Chain A
Amino acid sequence: MENGQPHIVKYQTFAVVLIVLLVFTFSSVAITQLDLGVYSVTAALVFASLKSILVLMYFMHLKFDNKFYAIMMTGIVLILISLISITFLDYLYR
């Protein structure tokens, strides 16, 4: 909400985002059906991350809202990533 005037997102924007999300979903299903070993885990997580970015930016209005929300969200993602990395540093090198 900038200048007290809320941003109205077009219906088409949401429809396009949904189509991309569905394409990503089917791609991740297809790629994990192939036996790629470690790469299928990576691919599935990359597609999941791309999908979550789309949901956050468009469906959850982060792209159009006050930047404050996007900054906080980035902070939470960084906390989660560091938590996961620290845990795995422990398990990999103990």
Chain B
Amino acid sequence: MIDHSHIDEHRDDEGAKTGMWIFIFTELLLFGGLFIVYSVYRYLNPLAFHMAAEELDVWLGTLNTVILLVSSMTIAMAVTSIQLRNKRLTLILMGITVFLALLFMVNKYFEWTGKISHGIFPGSEILHQSSQGEILFFGLYYAMTGLHALHIVVGVAFIAYVMRLVKIDDVKHDDFVILENSALYWHLVDLIWIFLFPLFYLIT
């Protein structure tokens, strides 16, 4: 079976996916480096990190973990549903993913503004009077969760763009590698949070 309408189409799905994976590896090394910085400073300032971590709301962190895990499942299901030629369900699942991502950001907003209203932010008066370890903890907290939140924003834009492609049938059951790549990116965001959550919220 030769489909002549596709004869001059240049496609390399395997290559596109490999490229995405290589990008994911660079991201893992970037966050891996930050995790090393965090663990070394934690090792050097155990008491201050313990005190500072107590300040974070475990329940808000758990809620955001659940939100990200569910959104990861919905985008994974979107890849299945596009293969089953269910365009409507694909769009619904991607829409839920974007909605949950925004919900995550709303929680993050309340969490950060809560901290800031208590005078805990880089360069604040209260933090200047705290120990070196607490300054380090909150510096890393803002830098690492901030960098992660930036990835969430990029993920939302990426998924929203692919939703448009699905809508105009540019992404179909036999041509969906960009949807797969946006899903991979979203899972990466989830993967990073899986480690950020215990490091900042759980280990006190």
Contact = CB atoms under 8 A, between A and B. Distances in A.
A80 B28 contact: yes
Measured as residues with beta carbon below 8 angstroms from the partner, the interface class of chain B is 35 or more
A2 B82 CA distance: 18
B80 A32 contact: no
Nearest to A8: B83
A14 B191 contact: no
Contact of A51 (B76, B184, B194): B194
Main secondary structure, interface of A, reads helix
B45 interface: no
Interface of B: 13-14, 17-18, 21, 25, 28-29, 32, 35-36, 39-40, 43-44, 58, 62, 65-66, 69-70, 72-73, 76-77, 79-81, 83-84, 180, 183-184, 187, 190-191, 194-195, 197-198, 202-204
Given A1-B13, A41-B203, A80 B32 contact: yes
A32 B28 CA distance: 25
A55 B80 contact: no
Measured as residues with beta carbon below 8 angstroms from the partner, the interface class of chain A is 35 or more
Contact of A60 (B14, B40, B77, B187): B187
Contacts of A17: 73
11 contacts: A9-B76, A10-B80, A21-B69, A48-B195, A48-B197, A55-B194, A56-B187, A59-B187, A79-B29, A84-B36, A87-B40
Contact of B25 (A45, A58, A72): A72
Contacts of A41: 203
Contacts, number: 107
A87 B43 CA distance: 11
Contacts of A84: 32, 35-36, 39
A44 B203 contact: yes
A60 B180 CA distance: 9
Contacts of A87: 36, 39-40
A17 B194 CA distance: 15
B84 A8 contact: yes
A91 B44 CA distance: 9
Interface string A31-75: 011000000110011011001100110111100011011001100
A18 B29 CA distance: 26
Given A1-B13, A8-B80, A10-B80, A47 B21 contact: no
Contacts of A66: 14
A16 to B, nearest CB: 10
